[in-house]
Amino acid sequence: MDSWDSGFRGAPGQGMSHTLSFGGAASFFRVPYQNKLTDVDVAVTGVPLDVATTNRPGARLGPRAIRNASLSLAWERPWPWRTDPMAALRVIDYGDCEPVDGDLLSVSHIETHIAKIINSGVATLMLGGDHFVTFPSLKAHAAVYGPISLIHFDAHTDTWPSSGNAVNHGTMFHCAALEGIVNPASSIQIGIRTINEDTLGFQIVSATDVHQSSSRDIARQIRERVGNSPVYFTFDIDCLDPAFAPGTGTPVPGGLSTFQALSIIRELSGIHLVGMDVVEVAPAYDHAEVTALAAAQIAIELLCLFAESHRGRRNPR
């Protein structure tokens, strides 16, 4: 009998895969690798870039690490969701954004890559890469939806002003706000535990706020902030405490537990989610794949959230 590898020969929408977790193609949750965007709801794509980091490099290996970790989770739908996102949605692994002719990935290059996906009426789940890669993704989404509402889980606000013309993984949301790509008045940042006096109008929910509140209350604040506006959800893995995510470039003690983050996500059904990413996994600093595993779990639960949030909602394109 011929072997069957869903990463190569599966079909979008087939549901969670029961093929081997320790062999075969390392696609995201065993969804098929595919470069065609017809009859697809969500394209998972990696952006292996870390030249914009200001501390420890290595996040360029994040997309591969997240895919590998996802294989051990791919055998059943995520608990406690009632929805199997791989059955409710036609999801493909679109591979990675690659440089052209040996050049480094640039804002325009990544933006073009993401724009090709969303201009086909397909949503994106992007795997980073350092957090800078969210900037060109936001630009592509804003070209379709207008100014975006941002749900941002992180230890850092990433709204520090740039020095000169440079944009890095700590300044890109400052640029995004000034350029009108995101709307700070309907955006919220969760898990913050570093000092930045100028919030630019973003609502800040500190890590202390999360620890002293229920997940349901934090989710209520998020839903009230973003309303019915188009939402991009970005999760920097350093939002988690280093005990739960040591494999990242700029870890900060005192962060969220994996359970807290997942509990908040599970309370957000109904938001108008249009794009999402998980970034800053740096496997060289990881231990026993604990960071990559947390990132894979967060990513699949974002797909669950997307599936439930888009029931009955028409694609604006």
Enumerate the known binding-site residues for Mn(2+).
131, 154, 156, 158, 236, 238
Give the sheet arrangement for strand 149-153, strand by strand: 91-96, 42-47, 123-128, 272-279, 230-236, 149-153, 188-192, 203-206
* Bind-site residues: 131, 154, 156, 158, 236, 238
Radius of gyration of the chain (CA): 18
Q: Pick from 256, 258, 240: which is nearest to 248 by CA? A: 240
Q: Pick from 113, 111, 129, 112: which is nearest to 51 by CA? A: 129
CB atoms under 10 Å from CB of 104, counted, come to 8
Task: Say how far apart CA 12 and CA 28 lie, in whole Å.
Answer: 12
For the stretch 265-283, what's the b/e string if a residue is b when 16 or more beta carbons lie within 10 angstroms of its beta carbon?
A: bbbbbebbbbbbbbbbbbb
